[in-house]
Structure 1
Amino acid sequence: MPADVRPIARALLSVSDKTGLVAFAERLAAQGVELISTGGTRKALADAGLKVMDVADLTGFPEMMDGRVKTLHPRVHGGILAVRDDAGHRASMSEHGIAPIDLVVVNLYPFEATVARGASYEDCVENIDVGGPAMIRAAAKNHADVAVVVDPASYDLVLAEFAAQGGTTLATRRKLAQLAFARTATYDAAIASWFASVEGTFAPDTRVFGGTLAEALRYGENPHQDAAFYLGSSARAGVATARQLQGKALSYNNLNDTDAAFEAVAEFDPTRTAAVVIVKHANPCGVAEGVNLEEAYRKALACDPTSAFGGIVALNRTLDAEAARAIVEIFTEVIVAPGATEEAVAIVGAKKNLRLLVTGELPDPRAGGLAFKSLAGGFLVQSRDNAVVDDMELKVVTKRAPTNAELADMAFAFRVAKHVKSNAIVYAKDLVTVGIGAGQMSRVDSARIAAAKAREAAVAAGLAAPLTKGSVVASDAFFPFADGLLVAVEAGATAVIQPGGSMRDNEVIAAADEAGLAMVFTGVRHFRH
C-alpha cells in the first residue's frame, strides 16, 4: 500500500440527506468496515440489514436534549482528531479506550431548506447543526489520516479509490477536506444571513456569501481570465435554474448576457402579452410585445438587426415552432424561455451550436434579494431594483396629458430602460423599441445614438421616415438639461417618461410644453451601471 494511503477500518455515518446511503454503506461493510451511526441514519442502515453500532454505545452516553448532544464526546472526536503517527496521541487513545475513526460521512441539518419553506423562528434555530459541523471540521483538519464526505456525490469517488487502493489517497483526502470546509462555510454564511434578516439588519458588520460550483468555465470575459459559475442558496429562475436542452457549453459572457435578457423579459406578464427581448453585451438591442412570440420576435429584431446578430433571445412564454423558425433565421448564441415544445426543440436542434435553455418559470420582478459586485479589496451590496412601473404613480407635469396609447408605450419603454445600462434612453412605439441608447457618459449622447439607431433601422427596413417619428421616449434618470429632450423632439418623439428630480426640471418641462410634448414623472430612477 502506498505510504500516503490510509485504510478505512471504521466509518461514522450521520446524514440528513440519505440519498445513496444504504448502497454506500453496504459497499463499505462488504469490505469489512465497521459502521457507527446515529438516530435516523442508524435506523435506515439497520432496517437495510446492516450491522451498525449506535454512537451511544460508543460513547457510553445516551443521546440527550432532543438530539442536541450525541456526538460531542472524546471517543468520537478523539477517534477523528488523533494523529496516527504521533506517539503521544496513540498513548492517549490507549489510555482512554479511544479507537480511530477513518471515515466521517456527515451532511448537515437542512437549515437552508427550513428557512426557504418559511418555517418558524424556533424551527429554524433547531435546524442549526452543531455536532455535524464539529465532526466535519475535525475530520477535514485531520485529513492527513481521515477522509470526510459531506455530499453523496462523493460516494463513488471514495468507493472507487477504496476498491483500487485499499483506502484513500492524500490527494483525495485533501480534495474532500476542501469540500468539507466549503460546506461548513456556506452553512454558517446562510445562518448568519438569516439572523441578519431576522434582526432587520441590511448591513451587518460582517457580510458572507456562499455558493456551489455549477460549472468551471473555459475562461472569463477574455481568454486570459479564469472563470467559474456558482449557484447561490436562493437562486432566481433563470440561468441558475435552467436546463440546457442543446448546444455547446455556455461561456462567461453567454451566462451574463442570458441573465440580463431573462431578467428583462420577466418584466412582461406572460398572461397579458407575448414578449421577446434580444440582448447584446448585457444591453437590450430590441424588445417587443406581440400577439404571439413570432410576431414579438420579428418586431424586436427590426429595432436593431445588426446588433441582434450573435445575440441572446429571451421569451416570456414557452418557445413554439413558429418562433423557433424565426429565431434560427439568423445567427443567435442563446435562446432562453420558461419552456419549449418538442417541435421547437427539434427546430433549434438543427443548429448544433445554438444553446437552448428552459427555466420552468419566470422570476418575479418585484421579488427582493441582494445584488453585489466586486471592488478592489471589497464588494458592494445593494437590494435588487425591484421597482415596477405598473406600481408607480405617474405624474403628468406638462400642459398636454398623454393619450392612452402614449401611456401604454411609456410604461413599455420605462420597463425596458430599467434594463439598459446608464445613461439609458429608449424610444418606443406600438409596444416595440425603435431606438436604444446605452452606457454613455452623457444622456444627450444616448438620445442621439438611439435616434441614429432608429434611422439606420428604418433604412434597413426600407422606410422613408425614422422609426422614432411618433414614438415616446423613456429616460432611466432625469434630464439634467433640456438638450437631451430636444434631441428626442428632433427625432419625432411625442411623449416622455422620466423620473424627474433635476434642479432644472422647470426648464425641461418648459421645453416639453413649447414642443407640445406630453411628459410624466415616475419619481423612481433606474440607474444600471
Structure 2
Amino acid sequence: MTDQPIRRALLSVSDKTGLVDLGRFLAGHGVEILSTGGSAKLLAEQGVPVREVADYTGFPEMMDGRVKTLHPKVHGGLLGLRDKHADAMKQHDIGAIDLLVVNLYPFEETVAKGAGFDECIENIDIGGPAMIRSAAKNHKYVTVVVDAGDYKAVIDDMTAHGGATSEATRRRLAAKAYARTASYDSAISGWFAGQLGDTFPERLTIAGTLQQTLRYGENPHQQAAFYVTGDTRPGVASARQLQGKELSYNNLNDTDAAFEAVAEFDPAESPAVVIVKHANPCGVAIAGSMAEAYRRALACDPVSAFGGIIALNNTLDGETAAEIAKIFTEVIIAPDATDQAREIIAGKKNLRLLLTGGLPDPAAPGMTVKSVAGGYLLQNRDNGRVFRDGLKVVTKRAPTEQELTDLLFAFRVCKHVKSNTIVYAKDGATVGVGAGQMSRVDSARIAARKAQDVAEAEGLAEPRTRGSVVASDAFFPFADGLLAAAEAGATAVIQPGGSMRDQEVIDAADAAGLAMVLTGMRHFRH
C-alpha cells in the first residue's frame, strides 16, 4: 500500500468538538466536504464549503434522520476498490470517498443519565457504524476517524504527505474504528440484556476504554493496562488523583479492594478506615473520629500496614492525614479531603491521594468477571448483607449487646478477606485477621499469632483477641477451628452454618461457654 490522497471527505458527527477546524483544514487543501444535518449546518455557518449528503446522493434525508447515509453512493464510495471497481463506480456515478469522520450517537451517555427505553432506542446509531465498518474494511484506500482526538494526527499526516495519509495511519485508525463499533454494540447488547432481565445472555460481550498503560502487571515481566467501562460506581476508575506517582497494577487492585470494603460502613453512622495489603484487609475500625478509626485499624497489624492502602468512608481531615503520614503508605482513597489534609499529604510526594466524590453502594447489583483458560467466569457481585434480624442464636448463651454489635462488624469485614477467613474483632475494630489459608483452623491460629506478636511488640499484658468475637466466612467443618478461636480468647462466634457437623461445633461452643449465631449466608472470596 502507498500514501492515499484525500480528495473527498464525509463528515457526520454527533460530538462536534474540533469539527470546524478540521473542516477548514480540509477545505484549505482542496478537499470536497460532504456532510449531514447538524454537522453540515455548523460547517456552513462557519464559512466552510460543504455539500449536503442528500444533495450528493439525490435521495432526501428521511424518517426523522434514520435514513440519510444508507445509500450506494455513500457505501460504494467507501467500499469501492479504486482499481478493481473503477468501472462499476464510473458506471453508477459513484465518487470515491477518501476520508470518513464519524462519531456515534451518544448511546452510552443516554443510558448513563437514566433515560427511558424509547429514548435509548433512538440513540442507537445505525448509519454511523455501517459507514465506519465500510471505511475500515477498505482502509487500503480510505482513512476513517471515530475520535476527535485523532483529528490532529490526520492533519499532521496529511501535512507531512502532501495531502495524503500514510498506510500506518490508516491501519491504526481502522483498528480503532472496529474497536469502537465493537464496544458500541457491546454497550447496546448489555443494556438490552438488562432490560430483559437476562443476567446471563447467550453471548457475552465485554468492552472497555484504555485509561492507562501500566508500567507492568503483578510482576515486572508482565505487561498490563487499565481499562474503564463507563460504569458510574465510585471507585478507582472514576477517582481523581491529586498527587503521587502513577498507580501500578497492584495499587489499582488493592485500592479497589480497600474502597469496596470501607463502603460497607455507613459514614452517617461512624467514620471507618480500612487498611489493605495484598488485597486483604489487615486492619479495619470504626470510631468517633476518622483519626481514631485509623489508629485503631493500624493497631490490628502495624507491620503489615507498612506500604499499604488506606481507604476512608468520609472526608480525609488534617488530623488523620498527619497520622497516616507517620508511616510509609502507597495510596489513600477517600470521598474527599480538606485543604489541610491535602497540604499535609503534599509533603509525601510519592503518596497517591485519590478522591472519588462518593462511596459505592455495597448493596447495589453488579457483575464480576474472571478469566480462566478458554473462557470467563461471570457472577453477581457479592452484595449480600447480614443484619440482626437475620441471625439465629444456636448456643445456650446468647451474645451480649456489645458482642452482637462486634459480630456483625466482624462478619462484614469477613466478606472482603480472602478465604478461608477468620476475623477477630473487639469494640468496632479488627484485632486479628487470618486470610487465605487452606484450612480454617490455620486462619484462626495465624490471626491469633499476629495478635500475640502485636501484644509483645507493644508490651501489652495480653493480646487484644482476649474478650473479642470471631467471624468465619464459611462454616466450621470441624470444631478445631472454633476451639482455636476460643483459645485465642474469643467469647462469641458468627458463622454461616450448614456443615454436617454443625451440632458438634455448637456443642463445642457450649462447652467453652461461647455464644454463637448463624447467618445462613457465606462470603467466600477467592
TM bucket, shorter chain = over 0.9
Out of 437-446 and 42-51, give the one that drifted further. Answer: 42-51
Q: Are 2:178 and 1:181 aligned?
A: yes
Instruction: Give 2:154's match in structure 1, choosing from 148, 155, 158.
Output: 158
**Matches of 1:413 and 1:48 in 2, distance apart?**
64
Secondary structure of residue in 2 paired with 1:449: helix
Answer whether contact 1:318 1:339 (CA < 8 A) is retained. yes
> Alignment partner for residue 325 of structure 2, among 308, 328, 350?
328
Residue matched to 1:171: 168
Q: CA deviation at 1:321?
A: 1.4
Measure how far apart 1:392 and its partner are. 6.4
Question: In percent, how many aligned pairs have the same letter?
Answer: 68
Q: 2:374 aligns with which of 372, 377, 384?
A: 377
Aligned pair 1:89/2:85, yes or no? Answer: yes
Question: Which stretch of the first structure deviates more once superposed, 137-146 or 26-35?
Answer: 26-35
How much has 1:270 moved relative to structure 2? Answer: 1.1
Unaligned runs of 5+ in 1: none
How far apart are 1:475 and its partner, in Å? 0.7
Mapped to 2, the partners of 1:34 and 1:272 lie a distance apart of 64
Within a 5 Å distance, the mapping from 1:332-481 to structure 2 comes to 332-390=329-387, 393-481=390-478
Match of 1:107 among 103, 110, 134: 103
Deviates more, 1:328-337 or 1:426-435: 328-337
Unmatched runs of 5 consecutive residues or more in structure 2: none
Contact 2:143 2:165 in 1 (8 A): yes
Distance in 2, Cα, partners of 1:462 & 1:32: 83
Distance 2:266 2:43 in 1: 49
Residues 164-313 of structure 1 correspond to what in structure 2 (within 5 A)? Answer: 164-165=160-161, 166-313=163-310
In 2, Cα distance between equivalents of 1:358 and 1:258: 12
What are the equivalent positions in structure 2 for 1:135-146 lying under 5 Å apart? 135-146=131-142
Query: What does residue 74 of structure 1 align with?
Result: 72
Contact persistence 2:283–2:301 (CA under 8 A): yes
Separation (CA, whole Å) in 2 of partners of 1:141 and 1:341: 52
Cα distance between partner residues in 2 of 1:446 and 1:323: 31
Q: Judge conservation of contact 2:388–2:408 (CA < 8 Å) in 1.
A: no
1:34 to 32, 35, 46: 32
**3-state secondary structure, aligned to 1:276:** strand
1:117-136 equivalent positions in 2, closer than 5 A: 117-136=113-132
> Which letter does structure 1 place at the counterpart of 2:491?
T
Q: What is the alpha-carbon root mean square deviation over aligned residues?
A: 1.4
Counterpart residue identity of residue 449, structure 1: I
Question: Partners of 1:391 and 1:69 in 2: how far apart?
Answer: 59
| Structure 1 runs (4+) greater than 6 angstroms displaced | none
Does the Cα contact within 8 Å between 2:391 and 2:517 map onto a contact in 1?
Answer: yes
Name 2:19's counterpart in structure 1: 21
Query: CA distance change for structure 1 residues 509 and 391 in 2, over 3 Å: closer, same or farther?
Result: closer
CA contact (8 A) 1:302 1:461 kept: no
2:225 partner SS: strand
Deviations 1:188-243 (A, max 9, x none): 11112222222222222211100000111111111111111100132421110011
Q: 1:14 & 1:341 partners in 2: Cα distance?
A: 45
Please give the alpha-carbon distance, in whole angstroms, between the structure 1 residues aligned to 2:102 and 2:515. Answer: 65
**Given that residues 210 and 233 in structure 1 are in contact (C-alpha distance below 8 angstroms), is that contact kept between their aligned partners in structure 2?**
no
Deviation, 1:444, is: 0.7
Q: TM-score, normalised by structure 1?
A: 0.96
Alignment CA distance shift 1:394-1:312 (3 Å):
same
Partner residue in 2 for 1:57: 55
TM-superposition CA deviations, 1:319-340 (whole Å, max 9, x none): 1111111111111111111112
- Local SS of the residue matching 1:486: helix
Q: Partner letter of residue 97 of structure 1? A: D
Which amino acid letter does the alignment assign opposite residue 484 of structure 1?
G
Q: Decide which of 510, 524, 528 is 2:525's aligned counterpart.
A: 528
Could you tell me whether the CA contact under 8 Å between 1:392 and 1:522 is conserved in 2?
no
Within the candidate set 493, 510, 514, 2:511 is matched to: 514
Q: Which amino acid aligns with 1:485?
A: L
Tell me, what secondary structure is at the counterpart of 2:504?
Answer: helix
Q: For residues 422 and 18 of structure 2, what CA distance do their matches in structure 1 show?
A: 54
CA distance in 2, matches of 1:212, 1:391: 42
In the aligned structure 1, how far is the partner of 2:159 from the partner of 2:374? 46
Distance across 2 between alignment mates of 1:399 and 1:521: 13
Structure 1 residue 506, shift from structure 2 partner: 1.3
Q: Within 2, Cα distance between the matches of 1:372 and 1:502?
A: 29
AA at the equivalent of 2:30: G
